[in-house]
Structure 1
Amino acid sequence: MNRTRTLAGLAALALLAAGCSSKAVKEDSVGSDGVRTGPGVTAGTITLGEMADLTGPFAANDTKITNAHQLYFSQLNEKGGVCGRKVRLDVVDHGYDVQKATTLYSDLARKVLGFSQVFGSGVNAALIDKYAGDKVLVYPASGAGPLLKSENILGAGSTYDYEIINALDAWLQEGTVKQGDTIAHVYLEGDYGGTAISGSRYMARKHGLKLTEVKIKPTDTDLTSQIAGIKNAGAKAILVSASPKQLGSVAVASESAGLRVPIVVNGAGWSGDLLEGASRKPVLDRVTVAQSWAVPSMKLPVVENFVAAYQKKYPNTKLDGNVTLGQSSAVVYAKVLQQACADKDLTREGVLKAVGQLKNVDTEGLLPPLDYSVKGHAPATESLLLRPDASVPGGVKAISETRHESKDIAGYTPDYAK
C-alpha cells in the first residue's frame, strides 16, 4: 500500500511539473487581431531577450550596443511598436562567461519570443543547439561565419573574414603591402578569430603574402611578447581580430618596440576608449577599422537623429560605432518582426520563416543592402574602412563613405564552409 501511495505521489508530482512547464512556455494561439502568437507575445507586448556582456572583456562595446537597442525600441514603441504591440527587452549580463550565459539562457528562453542580442561568438557557439531546440531567432552581436549555418542566427552585415579581405585588398591596391611581404594576424581563439583568419589566409595565398598567425586567448591582456615575435618575423602590417583592450596592447607594444607598421582591426575590436591614454597616439597614427555598419560621424539623417537622441539619453557614455551597430541590428530585427506581423504569425516558427523573405533590405545607409534569402551566407560582404579621428563624433571617420568590396570575394570559400 505504501508503495502504491508513493507511486501515486510521484505521478502527481510529474503531472504538476508538466503543468508548470506548460505554463512556463506559452502555447501558440490566435489573438483577436488574427495574428498567431507564441511565447513572449501577448495582446499588447512582444518580449525579446538580451544576453549582454556588460562586465566582461567586451563591456566597453556591448554596453553601447545594449543601450542603443533600448533606445531604438523605445522610439519604435512611441510610433506604435510592432503589430500594435510594444516591444519589451529583458536584459541580463553574462560577462562573457559561457557557463553563466548557459544558466541565464535556460531561464530567459521560457519568457521571450526571440533574442535581439546574445553577445559573443563563444557564447553563441555554446548555445546554438539550444536555439534550434527552442526555435528562437537570435541576433548574435557577432560576425562569426560558422554561426550562419544555423537558421536561428540573424546576421546583420558582413562577417569578420570579409572585413579582413576588404581591408587587405585596399592595402594591396594602395601599396601598403605587396606580394612577398610578411603580415601578422593577431586573433582570438574561437569563432571570432577563426572566421577572421580564414580571410587573411585566403588573401595571403592569392597574393603571395607571408602570414604569421598569432592566436591569443580572451584573458590575454599584455601582448608585448607576441609583438616581439611579430617584429622578428619582419611583418610589414598587423591585422587584429580581438577585443579593444587587446588592440590597445598591440598598438602600445608595437610603438614601444619601434614596430610602427599599419594595423587593421575588425569593428568588433574597436572602441572609442582607445583614444585615451597610452594607446591614443599609435591608434591615431596607424589603425584602420573595417566594418559594414555606419558610424556616428557619417552624414546620414538616420544616423544623426539617432546619435542626438542617444547622447541625450546617455550623456555619460562615450560615443562610438557600437552605438550605430546597436541601432543597425535593432532595425534589422524589427524588420523581421514586421514581416512576421504582415504574415499574421508572431510565433517563433513564424519569425524564423519571415527572415528568408527579406531581400535587398534597405536600412537607409546604416548597412549595405541585405539579402537573407540564401541560407548560410552573410547577408552582405561590403565594408567601410575607417580611421580614428578624435575630432569627430564616435572617434572614427570613414575614409570613403562608399563601402569597399574586394573583387577577390567572388572566388572566396570560407574555411568554415568547406
Structure 2
Amino acid sequence: LPQVIGSPVVAALIDDIERDQLLTFPQAWAASLLGKDPVQVLGTTYDVDMIAAVDFLTRTKGLKKGDTIGHVYFEGDYGANALEGSTWAAERAGLKIVDQKIKATDTDLSAQVSALREAGVKAVLISAGPAQTASLAGVAASRGLQVPIVSSAPGFAPQLMKTPAAKALEAMLHVVSAAPAVSSDLPGVKKMVASYEKKFPGSPVDSGVLSGYNAAQLLGADLKKACEAGSLTREDVVKTHRSQKNADTGLGTPQNFSDVNRPASVSTYVLKPDAKAVGGIVVAEEAHVAPGIAEYLNS
C-alpha cells in the first residue's frame, strides 16, 4: 500500500497490515505509527518538525527565554504528537506553550486568536488543516496579532494563495516539512514537476503530488530489490525495505528505514508561501537537523 491517508485510517487497518505483513506507507506522520515492522512513516514525524519550528522561531524571529508561543492543533494523533514536540522544545528553550485544541470541523479560529492575543503570544504554531491555517492568519492579521506563524506540513495547500488570506499568509507564515517545496531546484523535483505538468496540463502540482510520487518511487525500488534477491513474498518485501539505511529518490533528504522505532529522517525544511511559485510555496531554509533532536529521540 503506497499511500494510506491519515492516522485514523492506518489505525483501523493496522491489525490486518501486521498480520499480513503488507508493506504500508502512511500519508500521515504521527510518531504513534512507528514501531510496526510493515508500516513505514516516510520522512520526519510531527513532533520532530515542531522541534524544528521552535528552533526556527528562536533563531530567526527573536523569541527568547520567558516568551510565550501559542500552539493550535487538531485533536487526535496528529495534533497530540505535534504538541509533544513543541512542548519539549519550548521547555528546552525556556519558553511557555499556550495550547488551543480544535476539531477538524472548526474553521473559524476567532476565539482561539482572541485567547492567544490575551496570553501575549510572540508566535503561533498550528498543526491542523489548510482551512484552519488560513483562518488563523487572516483573523490574526485583521486583529493586529502580527506574529510569526509556523504550520505543520498538512496545514498548507497552494489553493490558499487564491483566498483572501493570501496576503496574511505570505507575510506571517512558514511551514516545516520533511519534503522540499515543489518549486525546489533539486533536479529530481524539477524533473517530476515537468513530467507531471506535461501529463496533466493545468492541474496544480502540490506537496501531495510530490509525496505520492516519492512513495511510489520508494515502493518500486523495494520491489525491484526484493525481486533481485529472489523473493517477492510480503515478508521479504518488508525485510528488503527495512535493510535500507540510505534510501534516496532525489526528492528530498536520504532516509534510513532500518530502525523501526525511529523516524526515517530527522531533517526538516522550512518553507514559505509564495503565490507566484509552483505549488504556492518556496524553500526558506534547506533541510537540516534541529538542535536537540537526538536528545529528544533518545529520551
Q: TM-score range by the shorter chain?
A: over 0.9
Q: 1:374 aligns with which of 216, 241, 259?
A: 259
The match for 2:18 among 94, 112, 132 is 132
SS state at 1:176 partner: coil
8 A Cα contact 1:240 1:265, kept in partner: yes
Kept after mapping to 2: 8 A contact 1:386/1:399: yes
The corresponding residue for 1:411 is: 295
Q: Is the contact between residue 156 and residue 328 of structure 1 (CA under 8 Å) also seen in structure 2?
A: no
- Corresponding residue of 1:48: none
Distance 2:224 2:146 in 1: 49
Which runs of 5 or more structure 1 residues have no equivalent in the other structure? 1-114
Bigger CA radius of gyration = 1
> Which one of the candidate residues 190, 211, 235 is aligned to 2:121?
235
Opposite residue 268 of structure 2, the aligned amino acid is: S
Letter in 1 for 2:279: G
Residue 288 of structure 1 is matched in structure 2 by: 174
Q: What is the alpha-carbon distance in structure 2 between the residues aligned to residue 318 and residue 352 of structure 1?
A: 33
Q: How many residues align?
A: 299
Q: Distance in 1 between matches of 2:12 and 2:45?
A: 19
Give the counterpart letter for 2:288 in structure 1. Answer: H
Q: Distance between the aligned counterparts of 1:413 and 1:362, measured in 2?
A: 22
> How far 1:262 sits from its partner (Å)?
0.7
Give me the identity figure in percent: 38
Task: Note if contact 1:368-1:382 (Cα within 8 Å) is conserved in structure 2.
Answer: yes
Q: Would you say the 8 A contact 2:180–2:271 is kept in 1?
A: no
Which of 174, 196, 202 is residue 316 of structure 1 equivalent to?
202
User: Any residues of structure 2 matched to 1:34-45 within 5 Å, and which?
Assistant: none
Deviation string, structure 1 residues 95-149 (Cα, Å, up to 9, x no partner): xxxxxxxxxxxxxxxxxxxx11110112112222221122211111111111012
- Give secondary structure in 2 for the equivalent of 1:213: strand
Greater relative CO (CA pairs within 8 A, separation 6+): 2
SS in 2 for 1:116: coil
Give distance in 1, aligned partners of 2:297 and 2:27. 23
**1:257 Cα deviation from its structure 2 partner:** 1.9
- C-alpha distance in 2 between matches for 1:333 and 1:266: 25
**CA distance, structure 2, for counterparts of residue 212 and residue 126 of structure 1:** 32
| Amino acid in the other structure paired with 1:187 | Y
Instruction: Identify unmatched segments of 5+ residues in structure 2.
Output: none
Shift of 1:172: 1.0
Aligned to 1:30: none
Matches within 5 A, 1:78-93: none
Contact 1:157–1:367 under 8 Å retained in 2:
no
Q: How many Å apart are 1:339 and its aligned residue?
A: 2.0
Helix, strand or coil: the match of 1:317? coil
What SS is found at the alignment partner of 2:41? coil
Give the secondary-structure state (helix, strand or coil) at the position aligned to 1:155: coil
Residue of 48, 66, 78 corresponding to 1:180 = 66
The Cα of 1:413 is off from its aligned counterpart by 3.6
Report the alpha carbon displacement of residue 175 of structure 1 after superposing the two structures with TM. Answer: 4.1
Contact 2:3–2:212, Cα closer than 8 Å, also in 1: no
CA–CA distance in structure 1, aligned partners of residues 103 and 229 of structure 2: 44
**CA offsets 1:212-253 (integer angstroms, 9 cap, x no match):** 111111121111111111111111111011111111111112
Within 1, Cα distance between the matches of 2:64 and 2:153?
24
- Alpha-carbon distance between aligned partners in 1 of 2:14 and 2:101, rounded to the nearest angstrom: 24
SS at match of 1:303: helix
Residue 319 of structure 1, CA deviation = 2.3
How far does residue 316 in structure 1 lie from its aligned partner after superposition? Answer: 3.4
1:369 partner letter: P
Aligned to 1:389: 274
Say if 2:99 is the partner of 1:213. yes
- Runs (4 or more) in structure 1 with deviation over 6 Å come to none
Cα contact 1:156–1:332 (8 A) shared by 2: no
What is the RMSD computed on CA atoms of the aligned residues?
A: 1.5
The within-5 A match list for 1:65-76 is none
Relative to the length of structure 1, the TM-score reads: 0.69
